[in-house]
């Protein structure tokens, strides 16, 4: 069992754990997440983060070191939270035919409940995503690499029906990641371009249901000869 399926934070390495909310480190962490989401890494300052947390600037460096280290910590923790939401208690429990089609819509709903994280990732990806890529690699089995291994094992052992059992795991993950993060990145344009306002719960539910139906119908089919 890989750590991403764990039900408690204590087995996670420190750099993937969010500090306790009401501790000094937790207050700085929350303020940093807000500042980085609003201003991006370059414009956010440790002084602004300290002021938002109601703390002395020296404490930012005491608990987290440099601004770069704090930014990496925030990104890593948020990515870990996202992965746990998507996979914990679901990968290895649900059938792949039920799990995979639900991922894009589930992610979209999660981002609406965590708007700062969505803004943070949009900014990071828009800036080229260099730090994000480094973090994803450094997460090892706690990150997408662990998901890939678990998913590959599921595909081997549970022999899904339809095209799922025939496709390389890399292709499945690339498709689902592209669809999931594409929805998140493009959402600000949907209202102006498509008249689709995803700030409304009914609109989100409708889109999520449509995406899931498309994927369900797709994975249930065999390739035509």
Q: How many residues would you count in the chain?
A: 225
- Position 2 scores a pLDDT of 38
The phi and psi torsions of 91 (rounded to 5 degrees) equal -70, 120
pLDDT digits (tens, 9 = 90+) for 64-88: 999 999 999 999 999 999 988 988 8
Mean confidence (pLDDT) of the chain: 86
**Measured between alpha carbons, how far is 27 from 31 in angstroms, rounded to an integer?**
6
What sections of the chain are H helices per DSSP?
Answer: 24-43, 46-53, 57-64, 67-87, 96-113, 115-126, 130-138, 144-158, 169-194, 201-219
CB atoms within 10 A of CB 204: 20
Superfamily of domain 10-219: Tetracycline Repressor, domain 2 (1.10.357.10)
- Position 120 scores a pLDDT of 94
- Position 54 scores a pLDDT of 96
- Position 214 scores a pLDDT of 86
Using 50 as the pLDDT threshold, list the residues of the chain that sit under it: 1-10, 223-225
Angle, to 10 degrees, between the axis of helix 144-158 and the axis of helix 96-113? 160
- Position 221 scores a pLDDT of 58
pLDDT digits (tens, 9 = 90+) for 6-28: 334 445 677 788 899 899 999 99
- Position 220 scores a pLDDT of 59
Identify whether the C-beta of residue 95 lies closer than 8 Å to the C-beta of residue 160: yes
* Global confidence as pTM: 0.84
CB atoms within 10 A of CB 224: 4
């Amino acid at each position: 069992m890989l750590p991403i399926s764990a039900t408690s934070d204590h087995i996670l390495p420190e750099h993937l754990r969010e500090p306790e909310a009401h501790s000094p480190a937790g207050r700085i962490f929350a303020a940093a997440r807000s500042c980085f989401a609003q201003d991006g890494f370059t414009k956010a300052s440790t002084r602004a983060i300290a002021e938002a947390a109601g703390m002395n600037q020296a404490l930012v460096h005491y608990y987290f070191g440099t601004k770069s280290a704090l930014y990496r910590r925030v990104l890593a923790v948020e990515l870990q939270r996202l992965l746990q939401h998507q996979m914990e208690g679901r990968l290895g429990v649900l059938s792949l035919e039920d799990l995979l089609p639900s991922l894009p819509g589930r992610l979209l709903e999660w981002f609406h409940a965590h708007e700062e994280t969505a803004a943070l990732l949009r900014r990071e990806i828009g800036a080229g995503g260099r730090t994000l890529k480094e973090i994803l690699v450094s997460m090892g089995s706690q990150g997408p690499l662990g998901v890939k291994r678990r998913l590959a094992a599921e595909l081997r052992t549970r022999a899904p029906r339809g095209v799922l059992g025939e496709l390389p795991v890399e292709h499945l993950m690339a498709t689902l990641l592209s669809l999931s993060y594409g929805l998140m990145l493009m959402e600000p344009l949907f209202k102006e371009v498509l008249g689709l306002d995803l700030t409304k719960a009914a609109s989100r539910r409708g889109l999520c249901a449509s995406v899931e139906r498309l994927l369900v119908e797709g994975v249930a089919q065999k390739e035509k000869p």
